[in-house]
């Protein structure tokens, strides 16, 4: 117990009738608990078994026990924030985990997933007018080696496909446009955004402080599925590329429907994307093994 | 298919110091030697118990220093391209081995 007492944030002395609340959150977070006008905060300490997770300890005095009104727990880190609640009404130990991108008790978030030209992730659903997206990606082979990292449309119908390739290029049917002149292996990531609206597709790439964009005008079909690390060409064949993907977000009519972060499952170390809107873990649907970036 | 050597922490090496396990894999076919030595590879069917107690199940591949790996890979690809250009030039000049 002395170890715990040394870590307690928010002040106050501990007695046997108090409760202890332990909050686990990603490293670098600030955790605050509030109930009514009472607020306590802590910067946390590294979990002894898991360096990327921090423990935050709080004393709840007996006079603060409440069977009806929960404590609100808020974790913040940079631009990320998340909250949860807990009822504390007895002198006991309470454990709560709180995370931003992936449930930390089931998954380990990593910096990126990297493909080598054989892997792929498929998000089901239909997309078209009213869809917008954002992808953080870094191709890892030279443009001349080809390959795709994002696609819309998974069927064999020629005009159903839209794809993005290692040349920072966007492609629809016979219309191909390089968003940014980059005749070399990228030295860092780029962020690609796109919006399908009113039968226009507007896409842009921000890379290393430079922005390129392109607008396509056509009757936008209903795309069946969206793919990472590959796309389907006009013949319906998968064209796979080598790239790192850091996250993928997609909105339908301004409502986020895909928010996917790279991670591996703690149960079996299988790498994939955790999609937090639906709580679904998407694994490789190609062959080979993803390389994962460092734990975060 | 490349031959690599794994130390007790499943970190990849290009040469065996006599204590390492030899592994043949296609996972690093397009990865240069300097970059391979900055990666961890747990083969299929193997497990690695990390110092913090977490068990990692193979096949599992993780970068240890992705920034350095990127730099090594860029240099290697540029070298490969220069080599290809030189071979093309020699062929045009009719120089054969």
Q: What region, left, alpha or beta, does residue B74 occupy, with left being phi > 0 and alpha being psi -120 to 50 degrees?
A: alpha
Return d(Cα A226, Cα A164) in angstroms, integer. Answer: 12
Which string of b and e fits A33-66 if b means at least 16 CB within 10 Å? bebeeeebbbebeebeebebbbbbbbbbeeebbe
Which residues of A touch chain B, with CB atoms under 8 Å apart?
48-51, 110-112, 114, 116-117, 140-142, 185, 187, 242, 244, 264, 266, 268-271, 288-294
Nearest CB partner across the interface for B63, out of A48, A271, A291: A291
Extract the tokens encoding A113.
């997933």
- For A5-30, what is the mean pLDDT? 77
ipTM of the complex: 0.88
pLDDT (tens digit, 9 = 90+) per residue, A60-109?
999 999 999 999 999 999 889 999 999 999 999 999 999 999 999 899 99
The model scores a pTM over 0.90: no
Is 70 exceeded by the pLDDT of residue A144?
no
Contact assignment for B66 to A292 by CB distance below 8 Å: no
In chain A, residues with a C-beta closer than 8 Å to the C-beta of B63 are 114, 291-294
Nearest CB partner across the interface for A293, out of B52, B53, B66: B66
Contact assignment for B66 to A294 by CB distance below 8 Å: yes
pLDDT (tens digit, 9 = 90+) per residue, A230-280?
988 777 788 888 999 999 999 999 999 999 999 999 999 999 999 999 999
Is 60 exceeded by the pLDDT of residue B46?
yes
Q: What is the pLDDT of residue B69?
A: 93
């Amino acid at each position: 117990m002395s170890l715990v007492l040394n870590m307690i944030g928010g002040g106050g002395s501990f007695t046997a009738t108090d409760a202890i609340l332990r909050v686990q959150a990603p490293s670098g977070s600030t955790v605050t608990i509030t109930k009514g006008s009472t607020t306590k905060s802590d910067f946390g300490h590294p979990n002894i078994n898991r360096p990327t997770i921090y423990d935050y300890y709080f004393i709840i005095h007996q006079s603060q026990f409440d069977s009806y009104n929960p404590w609100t727990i808020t974790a913040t880190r940079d631009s990320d924030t998340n909250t949860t609640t807990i009822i504390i009404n007895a002198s006991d130990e309470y454990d709560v985990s709180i995370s931003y991108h992936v449930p930390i008790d089931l998954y380990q978030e990593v910096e990126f997933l990297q493909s080598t030209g054989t892997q792929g992730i498929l998000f089901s659903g239909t997309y078209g007018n009213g869809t917008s997206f954002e992808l953080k990606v870094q191709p890892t082979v030279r443009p001349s080696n080809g390959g795709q990292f994002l696609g819309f449309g998974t069927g064999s119908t020629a005009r159903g496909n839209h794809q993005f390739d290692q040349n920072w290029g966007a492609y629809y049917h016979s219309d191909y446009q390089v968003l940014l002149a980059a005749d070399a292996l990228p030295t860092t990531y780029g962020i690609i955004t796109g919006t399908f609206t009113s039968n226009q597709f507007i896409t842009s790439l921000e890379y290393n402080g430079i922005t390129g964009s392109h607008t396509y005008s056509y009757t936008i079909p209903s795309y069946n599925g969206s793919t990472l690390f590959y796309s389907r060409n006009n013949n319906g064949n998968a064209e796979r590329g080598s790239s790192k993907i850091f996250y993928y977000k997609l909105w339908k009519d301004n409502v986020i429907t895909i928010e996917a972060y790279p991670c591996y499952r703690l149960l079996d170390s299988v790498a994939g994307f955790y999609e937090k809107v639906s709580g679904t873990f998407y694994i490789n649907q190609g062959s080979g093994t993803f390389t994962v970036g460092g734990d975060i | 298919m490349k031959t690599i050597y794994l130390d007790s922490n499943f970190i990849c090496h290009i040469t065996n110091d006599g204590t390492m396990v030899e592994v043949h894999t296609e996972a690093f076919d397009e990865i240069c030697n300097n970059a391979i030595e900055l990666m961890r590879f747990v083969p299929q069917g193997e497990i690695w118990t990390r110092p913090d107690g977490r068990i990692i199940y193979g096949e599992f591949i993780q970068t240890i220093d992705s920034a350095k790996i990127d730099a090594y890979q860029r240099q290697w690809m540029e070298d490969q391209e220069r080599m290809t250009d030189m071979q093309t030039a020699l062929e045009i000049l009719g120089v054969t081995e």
